[in-house]
Chains A and B, each alone.
Chain A
Amino acid sequence: MTRLSAGAAPGSSAGLHDTVAVDPSPLDVLGVAPARPAGRRRLPTVSIVIATALLCSIVALVVLAPLLPGYDPVTQHLDASQLRPLSDGHLLGTDPLGRDELSRVALAGRVSILIALAVVALNLVIGVVVGLTAGYFGGRADYLLMGLADLQLTIPVLLLLIAVIAAVGPSTTTLVVVLGVTFWVRYARVTRVIAASLREREFVLAAVTQGATDRWIMVKHLLPTVIPQLIVMGTFDIGTIVIAEASLSYLGLGVQAPTPSWGGMIAEGQRYLQTNPALVLVPAAAVFALLGGLAILGQRFSATYGRGGADLVTGRR
């Protein structure tokens, strides 16, 4: 994001009606760099390989596990509880109620990822609407909306979540809604900065002279520039949301039994840490694989996207 704020400065100093404004790097802030001569083909870096492997394993887990013959995350087998990993018919063993651990960790992954995607999408929408409005119109709208954002930031998120969920009762819907309206501030800020700097550009004035409405300019000219930046942020945030959801589920405020969740599984398994550490290690490893993979890829994406849609894997245009 440092690139962004550095690139935005020259644009914002040029007046809307300054017809002779010469921006030294009009393409820079928009992430379009002049074409680079084709270099030699580069191989994916080690970190990319690792990140991809981690993410692929998670995707394979949540997508393919339900297709396995022994898939059954709900049925209890009290005569086969606490089986160790690699036991017959249960690759990752069973939990204290005799439920198949592999099936449960796969289903929990589905739940966690779907929740995270829904939450990120909600936050993105709120952030984009607030940020575009504040950045494009400026003035009083900017003042009010960014004041609201500051207010949001002063509230400790976890505390707020616990308070709200304690008040209305825990459920997956509550979790999604509450998380969905608490992580939008960064999206709003980034959107606002981009919108405010683009608003001063001559091509926006040109669009106005062509008869464009404010909404048209926001949707056609500002949004396409904002979205890629926010997707990068969103990939990072999926990890944050999974952690938040796992934390809440761990505290018993998130996903409710019998639906498994990674946080909930860690909380349950904790009691058996001495006797059967797999109950904690399996869901923890799943969380780690997802977060680690996302973090590495997200960072790589933000580094290469700034060079103008360079190839994600090799960094080559």
Chain B
Amino acid sequence: MHEAPPPGRPVLSVRDLVVVFDGPHGPLRAVDGVSFDVWPNEVLGIVGESGSGKSLTMLAVMGLLPPGARVESGSIEFRGRDMVALPWEQRRQVLGKEIAMIFQDPMTSMNPVMKIGRQLAEAIRLHARELSRAQVQARAAELLALVRIPDAQRRLTAYPHELSGGMRQRVMIAMAVAHDPALLIADEPTTALDVTIQAQVLRVLRRIRSQVGASMTLITHDLGLVAESADRVVVMYGGRVMETGTVEQVFAAPAHPYTAGLLASSLRVDGPLDEAYAIPGTPPQVDARPAGCVFSPRCPVGGHRDLCRADKPGLHTDEAGHGVACHYSGETSAWVELSRRPSDAAVGT
């Protein structure tokens, strides 16, 4: 794990990205000025609730925004290429080869009427048209062995529904790493799986990632997964980055009230069950976001202050790489202390 950003250039560099949707009353900023870097060989966790813009950000990176959404401003640089301006044909050459995606639900992300072997073969052939049939088959079997699928030859002739969920997700991982990508985008890779096999699949994913030497963005709402698997983390809320830093920095000393609230709301194995904190209120809809800090209506620290209501805080990063977008981040630790005693926290909100 990296204490400070490693040397070299980032694999992926997103700067001030704004993604807008066309709404009935003008454009809606679903992603509002997001910046982050993914460094070589690191795992970046992107954490946020549904609608925080985390998936949309990564779709923008791949150039696969849904109809009606577009990148309004900002830049996305992947290995020195401007992904926003890149023509479709060149972007297609990047997808699957240099950037690969792993989806949440392997059942829906595989063609149910196509045998595993054929789907794997296609993922291979898409960027290696020159390979012979035998070479493709050999590579497919090799990939299945890489993700520790036993009896690979038999699995190749199976249909997706004949495999277990964990097995299917491993096949998806095998497809994703078919061309040794530089960046893996994993969108909730274990959410659709049984709890018992999440750890297995995660182990496979981690091992493969380091074998291939790829960087990875792990999009999730599971803080435990991030703590366990990521080097650095970006916390998103309402289309903006709230806090960023190494996992140690963010989890041990959250500087943003939202991060602190998230951490306080997760249950601990060794703690009592009734002491979990709940962030009051609900995330704002994309068309009803407050003018100032997007978290201010729910913020236990600065929500009532005029500055928070009027002014969007920028992301301020210290020398250690710990960034936070909060006017009163200095007061967060005091609130954390307070919230550890549940009765006081209830009063505080």
Size range of the interface on B?
35 or more
Minimum distance in angstroms from B236 CB to a CB of chain A: 16
Minimum distance in angstroms from B260 CB to a CB of chain A: 27
Report Cα–Cα, A209/B91, bound state, in Å. Answer: 10
Report Cα–Cα, A43/B55, bound state, in Å. Answer: 54
Q: Is B34 an interface residue (CB 8 A)?
A: no
Report whether A202 and B103 are in contact in the complex, using a CB–CB cutoff of 8 Å.
Answer: yes
Taking CB atoms, residues of chain B closer than 8 Å to A19 are: 55, 103-105, 187-188
Report whether B92 and A21 are in contact in the complex, using a CB–CB cutoff of 8 Å.
Answer: no
Taking CB atoms, residues of chain A closer than 8 Å to B113 are: 30-32, 224-225
Contact pick for A27, options B103, B161, B188, CB 8 Å: B161
Encode contact with B along A189-210: 1 for CB under 8 Å, 0 otherwise: 0000000000001110111111
Q: Is A213 an interface residue (CB 8 A)?
A: yes
Minimum distance in angstroms from A317 CB to a CB of chain B: 13
Size range of the interface on A?
20 to 34
Residue of chain B at shortest CB distance from A11: B108
Considering only residues 208-238 of chain A, those with a C-beta below 8 Å from chain B are 208-213, 216, 220-221, 224-225
Given contacts A205-B64, A221-B114, contact A20 B92 (CB under 8 A): no
Q: Is A16 an interface residue (CB 8 A)?
A: yes
Minimum distance in angstroms from B159 CB to a CB of chain A: 7
Report Cα–Cα, A115/B161, bound state, in Å. Answer: 41
Minimum distance in angstroms from B193 CB to a CB of chain A: 14
Report whether B66 and A206 are in contact in the complex, using a CB–CB cutoff of 8 Å.
Answer: no
Q: Is A34 an interface residue (CB 8 A)?
A: yes
Report whether A22 and B95 are in contact in the complex, using a CB–CB cutoff of 8 Å.
Answer: no
Encode contact with A along B317-330: 1 for CB under 8 Å, 0 otherwise: 00000000000000
Report whether A206 and B126 are in contact in the complex, using a CB–CB cutoff of 8 Å.
Answer: no
Encode contact with A along B109-127: 1 for CB under 8 Å, 0 otherwise: 1111110000000110011
Residue of chain B at shortest CB distance from A209: B101
Contact pick for A15, options B66, B93, B94, B111, CB 8 Å: B66
Report Cα–Cα, A225/B112, bound state, in Å. Answer: 10
Taking CB atoms, residues of chain B closer than 8 Å to A41 are: none
Minimum distance in angstroms from B249 CB to a CB of chain A: 29
Report Cα–Cα, A27/B159, bound state, in Å. Answer: 11
Report whether B105 and A202 are in contact in the complex, using a CB–CB cutoff of 8 Å.
Answer: yes
Q: Is A306 an interface residue (CB 8 A)?
A: no
Report whether B95 and A27 are in contact in the complex, using a CB–CB cutoff of 8 Å.
Answer: no
Minimum distance in angstroms from B222 CB to a CB of chain A: 14
Taking CB atoms, residues of chain B closer than 8 Å to A36 are: none
Contact pick for A203, options B94, B99, B111, B126, CB 8 Å: B111
Given contacts A208-B95, A209-B96, A211-B127, contact A17 B64 (CB under 8 A): yes
Residue of chain A at shortest CB distance from B161: A27
Given contacts A22-B105, A201-B108, A220-B122, contact A210 B161 (CB under 8 A): no
Given contacts A15-B66, A17-B59, A19-B55, contact A206 B103 (CB under 8 A): yes
Contact pick for A211, options B66, B97, B114, CB 8 Å: B97
Report Cα–Cα, A23/B110, bound state, in Å. Answer: 13
Report whether B108 and A21 are in contact in the complex, using a CB–CB cutoff of 8 Å.
Answer: yes
Report whether B112 and A206 are in contact in the complex, using a CB–CB cutoff of 8 Å.
Answer: no
Report whether A211 and B104 are in contact in the complex, using a CB–CB cutoff of 8 Å.
Answer: no
Q: Counting chain B CB atoms within 10 Å of each CB, which of A15, A23, A210, A225 scores highest?
A: A210
Report Cα–Cα, A212/B95, bound state, in Å. Answer: 8
Minimum distance in angstroms from A14 CB to a CB of chain B: 9
Report whether B64 and A206 are in contact in the complex, using a CB–CB cutoff of 8 Å.
Answer: no
Residue of chain B at shortest CB distance from A204: B111
Q: Is A26 an interface residue (CB 8 A)?
A: yes
Taking CB atoms, residues of chain B closer than 8 Å to A17 are: 55, 59, 64-66
Taking CB atoms, residues of chain A closer than 8 Å to B201 are: none
Encode contact with A along B52-74: 1 for CB under 8 Å, 0 otherwise: 00010001001011110000000
Minimum distance in angstroms from A294 CB to a CB of chain B: 26
Given contacts A15-B66, A224-B114, contact A213 B92 (CB under 8 A): yes
Report whether A32 and B161 are in contact in the complex, using a CB–CB cutoff of 8 Å.
Answer: yes
Taking CB atoms, residues of chain A closer than 8 Å to B175 are: 210
Report Cα–Cα, A21/B103, bound state, in Å. Answer: 12
Minimum distance in angstroms from B5 CB to a CB of chain A: 27
Minimum distance in angstroms from B197 CB to a CB of chain A: 19
Residue of chain A at shortest CB distance from B55: A19
Taking CB atoms, residues of chain B closer than 8 Å to A216 are: 126
Report Cα–Cα, A16/B127, bound state, in Å. Answer: 23
Report whether B59 and A221 are in contact in the complex, using a CB–CB cutoff of 8 Å.
Answer: no
Q: Is B107 an interface residue (CB 8 A)?
A: yes
Minimum distance in angstroms from A36 CB to a CB of chain B: 13
Report whether A26 and B122 are in contact in the complex, using a CB–CB cutoff of 8 Å.
Answer: no
Taking CB atoms, residues of chain B closer than 8 Å to A220 are: 122
Report Cα–Cα, A32/B112, bound state, in Å. Answer: 8
Minimum distance in angstroms from A216 CB to a CB of chain B: 7
Residue of chain B at shortest CB distance from A216: B126
Report whether B66 and A16 are in contact in the complex, using a CB–CB cutoff of 8 Å.
Answer: yes
Report whether B96 and A211 are in contact in the complex, using a CB–CB cutoff of 8 Å.
Answer: yes
Taking CB atoms, residues of chain B closer than 8 Å to A16 are: 66-67
Given contacts A19-B187, A32-B113, A206-B101, 11 further A-B contacts (CB under 8 A): A17-B64, A22-B105, A31-B113, A32-B159, A201-B108, A203-B110, A205-B64, A206-B110, A210-B175, A211-B92, A224-B114
23 contacts between A and B (CB under 8 A): A17-B64, A20-B104, A22-B108, A23-B108, A26-B112, A27-B112, A27-B161, A32-B113, A202-B103, A203-B108, A203-B111, A206-B109, A206-B110, A207-B111, A207-B122, A208-B95, A209-B96, A209-B100, A210-B100, A211-B95, A212-B92, A224-B113, A224-B114
